[in-house]
Amino acid sequence: MPSLPELTDYEVLGRLAVGGMAEIYRARARSGPAAGQEVVLKRLLPMHRTHSAYVDLFLAEARLGALAQHPNLVRTYDLLRVGRDYFIVQELVGGDTLGALAARARERRSRLDLAAGLVAVADLLDALDFLHSGAGVPGEPPIIHRDVNPLNLVASPGGVAKLIDFGVAERQGETPRHRAGALRGTPAYMSPEQVRGRPALDPRSDLFSAGILLWELFADRPLFERENQFETLRQVAEGAAPPLRSVDRAIPVVFERMCVRALASDRDRRFQTAGGFLHALRRSCQREGLSLDRSALAQEVRRLWPAPPRVPARAEAG
């Protein structure tokens, strides 16, 4: 394990992942709000700590994460500076990402349970509704996550899904923290306006990404992802999502219509708020006799997650 500075308040248990901007450790908190609990320590890689742009991104992620106090958002406990090192201390969520669970289901020649997936999407929309309302602070501009994808949605053994990773999140209207024209996020889950590099993203970009998750849940296959990034970006920019019932005629029409609206290339034709999207999802599930019971997601996590708790996030802060 790489050498770390002495952390008085945390016992480091091991390194879990490393990416282009940060590395992630599992630790036990000796004091503070998470005293006695295992937590995640996210460390800015030493090679970046002298570059102000990377430090600014890391600090901005910590600040936005600290505002995200919601049951469906991973909790950020603290930001530490020890010597020249920067650490973000976050909640350690048991379970795994929605993307990993779906992949494991395919390995077992099955698919992710539909009811379980719908619970996860409903939790995602609840989290986005909170972020888009300014994290519950009246008068504050929306926080746009900008990287809604199945690897950033964690399903816990208790049947709760949590949105993670604020590495590229921004408040609407603020000056971008990254190089102009740079694509930050996951190409296969971007909105058309995000791919085209429009600077003025609004919450409807996140709702398009949520629509991709919903479409893929029903279709059980990728929507826009192709063999290379150029083709993936082209598919997203064109916004040509096949009707769900062209994939499977058994899918109820109400969900096909919901995905058509969520995936409209024209932002004005999409759901305008996460709350409106969530209301439509709940109403459609009720109409089709599909329960949004957390036990469905909990059972699916138990079925597909035969492993000890780990960090189900990418190591990059963005």
Task: Name the residues annotated as catalytic.
Answer: 147
| CA pair distance 94, 113, nearest whole angstrom | 19
